[in-house]
Structure 1
């Protein structure tokens, strides 16, 4: 009986290992739809991102802009734990602004980002431009302006603050308080 119990435990643990959720990047296709915009991503220029959530295997959330994915990761309203974030490596040999690539993903945590460049993302807003290679990031910044930073150095207002004249900091005390609270919660962990 004891041998049967041990064998059952081994089989159960083997099944559990087989069920581990893959966080490998998924290719962009003509059917890939953006999480926020609900539009086909291959029709928009600039780098894209995908976020893999616990409990949703094989179906990452795709974002038409890298800054949108980073904002999503920093906001507290998520229902699922983030397992991985992948961003287009804009330094990959075939990557262009019009076609950033379908499988040239690099990990968001290890990527370098150009912030403050003159290039806008797929939805026409300021964009974080990710690179796997520092020299390519520096070359892009030399051509289009901006600063090369790590993910931890990207300020919240580069991804969370409203664009344009929708809400201007200082005009809405409630918004300002929420942004301050969010910034402080991100700094702590």
Structure 2
């Protein structure tokens, strides 16, 4: 009888689906730098994001929510993501001070896409809110469409970000490049 009970217990344990515990968000401090820009996030306005990866003790931070969503969707990204947190702009003091510890899980958030408000790095932003009412109020004031994370099209986060026009290169930039390329390949 003991053997049968042990076998049944082992079978139930083997069939039980393991549920991973979601890591808690980490407060943003002066030590938090953007994954792509390596800049102090507290010096930039607008919402931020943090992504927790399996077997990595500290999250990676993003200067813009759009950047975190792009990271999550990049075809070459193969890390196991255990959580994505975004600033809850419902609880932000202002656009300039989005808050260091007012995070909400991205899959549960409401996002405003296409507003007139640029993100912390000057590009288009996906502005997150913990409530649909907060997102709707922001969209009414600043334009844009309210969506859930899964409804944001890949093209909105993976396409080149709009923002300030790039500084034009001098007219002779191509000639200089070609001369340097020729010089570098002469020895080949």
TM range (shorter): 0.7 to 0.9
Alignment of 1:4-153 (within 5 A): 23-57=23-57, 59-92=58-91, 94-153=92-151
- 8 Å Cα contact 2:112/2:127 also seen in 1: yes
- 8 Å Cα contact 2:22/2:82 also seen in 1: no
Long gaps (5+) in structure 2: 1-19, 167-188
1:7 corresponds in structure 2 to none
**1:160 to 2:188 alignment:** no
CA RMSD of aligned residues (A): 1.8
Q: Partners of 2:80 and 2:124 in 1: how far apart? A: 27
Q: Partners of 2:128 and 2:73 in 1: how far apart? A: 17
Matched residue count: 146
User: CA-to-partner distance for each residue in 1:66-101, whole Å, 9 max, x for gaps?
Assistant: 000000000122242000000000011x43110100
SS in 2 for 1:122: coil
User: CA-to-partner distance for each residue in 1:114-158, whole Å, 9 max, x for gaps?
Assistant: 000000001100000000011111110000000100011101111
TM-score normalised by length of structure 1: 0.73
Long gaps (5+) in structure 1: 1-19, 167-189
Q: CA deviation at 1:21?
A: 7.3
139-148 vs 77-86, greater mean Cα deviation: 77-86
Off by >3 Å, runs of 4+ in structure 1 = none
Bigger radius of gyration, 1 or 2? 2
Q: Partners of 2:75 and 2:152 in 1: how far apart? A: 17
Q: Partners of 2:143 and 2:94 in 1: how far apart? A: 17
TM-score normalised by length of structure 2: 0.73
Q: Partners of 1:112 and 1:90 in 2: how far apart? A: 10
